[in-house]
Amino acid sequence: HSNNRLRPQSITRVRVMAGILHTPCCSRSDLEVLLMDRFLEYLNHHPTLSLATAIVAIIAIAYELWQRQQNASGISLNQAIVLHNKGALILDVRTDAEFASGHIFEARHIVLDKLADSLDSIKKYREKTVIVCCESGARSGQAAKTLKAQGFQNVFNLNGGLAAWRQENLPLTSQTHNA
């Protein structure tokens, strides 16, 4: 069938492109001009596809920037363990039931809704390192912002929260600790 054959125009374009790419007589600027012309021709012939691609790229960039802003003070599990071993406060902002089901050893528990009213109980940590955690990292992100706004200097959000902690099979305890 003739459907399987290339049109003569397509064969010519392929030969021209192959010739330009492999011919040493053409300068780099000529190749750049040709490629730019082809790109502009593509944009002209496919405006909807080009617009959709641009929109997806903008959304992807905006999402990445938003993620960086949200996790600007994020900390990995390994970094959290090192800082905890050096005396950092682990502040768990999950619900009472979540905390009772298991938490990081020596973690202080203040439910997110009560954090603003309970800052006096942790004020001695204003100049020290505080690692805030919740189940996924969302509530602890809010708590970290609250603590920073109240003058706490070194506040970090545990990336992935306790879900990531469990996934790595790191130890949890159900014993309460009063600091």
Tell me the catalytic residues: 134
Neighbours of 175 (CB within 10 A): 8
Sign of the alpha-carbon dihedral angle for 81, 83, 86, 87: negative
Phi and psi, residue 120, nearest 5°: -60, -30
The answer to whether the CB of 17 falls within 8 A of the CB of 24 is no
The encoded tokens of residue 92 equal 């768990």
Side-chain half-sphere exposure of 90, counting CA atoms within 13 A: 26
* Long-range contacts of 159-162, Cβ-Cβ distance < 8 Å, separation of 24 or more: 159/71, 159/74, 159/75, 159/76, 159/77, 160/77, 160/136, 161/133, 161/134, 161/135, 161/136, 161/137, 162/92, 162/94, 162/98, 162/102, 162/103, 162/104, 162/133, 162/134, 162/135
